[in-house]
Amino acid sequence: MKGVLGELQVNLAARFFLDKKIYTLFKNVTLPTEGGTTQIDHVIVSRYGVLVIETKNMKGWIFGSAQQKTWIQKIYQHTNKFQNPLHQNYKHTETLQAALELDPDKLFSLVVFVGDSDFKTPMPDNVVYLGGYVRFIKSKTQPILNDSEVQAICHKIASGQLKASFKTHREHVKHVKAIVQEKQRQIDENACPKCGKVMILRTARSGDNQGKQFWGCSGFPKCKMVRQII
Q: With 70 as the cut, is the pLDDT of residue 140 above it?
A: yes
* Distance (Å, whole) CA 60 – CA 63: 10
177 and 198 share a domain? no
* Distance (Å, whole) CA 222 – CA 230: 25
128 and 179 share a domain? yes
Please name which of 199, 191, 193 lies closest in space to residue 220, comparing C-alpha atoms: 199
Beta carbons within 10 angstroms of residue 191's beta carbon: 16
137 and 219 share a domain? no
Q: Which helix (H) or strand (E) holds 72?
A: strand 70-75
204 and 120 share a domain? no
167 and 198 share a domain? no
Highest mean pLDDT among 30-34, 170-174, 175-179 belongs to 30-34
**What pLDDT does residue 191 have?**
78
Distance of CA 68 to the CA centre of its chain: 12
Query: If pLDDT is split at 50, 70 and 90, which confidence band does 133 have?
Result: very high
103 and 151 share a domain? yes
92 and 199 share a domain? no
196 and 105 share a domain? no
What's the domain count of the chain?
2
* Distance (Å, whole) CA 88 – CA 38: 10
The burial class, CB within 10 Å (0-12 / 13-18 / 19+), for 117 is middle
- At residue 230, the 3 state secondary structure works out as coil
Strand partners, 74: 61, 79
**What pLDDT does residue 167 have?**
47
Report pLDDT digits (tens) over 101-131.
Answer: 899 999 999 999 998 899 999 999 999 999 8
Predicted TM-score (pTM) of this structure: 0.67
177 and 212 share a domain? no
Query: If pLDDT is split at 50, 70 and 90, which confidence band does 165 have?
Result: very low
**What pLDDT does residue 66 have?**
93
178 and 206 share a domain? no
What are the C-alpha distances in Å from 179 to residues 35, 36, 184? 10, 11, 9
Please name which of 151, 154, 164 lies closest in space to residue 37, comparing C-alpha atoms: 164
How confident is the model over 137-147, as a mean pLDDT? 95
Strand partners, 127: 111
Q: What is the mean pLDDT of the chain?
A: 84
170 and 214 share a domain? no
**What pLDDT does residue 87 have?**
93
39 and 139 share a domain? yes
Q: Which helix (H) or strand (E) holds 9?
A: helix 2-17
Q: Domain range holding 223?
A: 192-228
Report pLDDT digits (tens) over 57-76.
Answer: 999 999 999 999 999 999 98
Query: If pLDDT is split at 50, 70 and 90, which confidence band does 169 have?
Result: very low
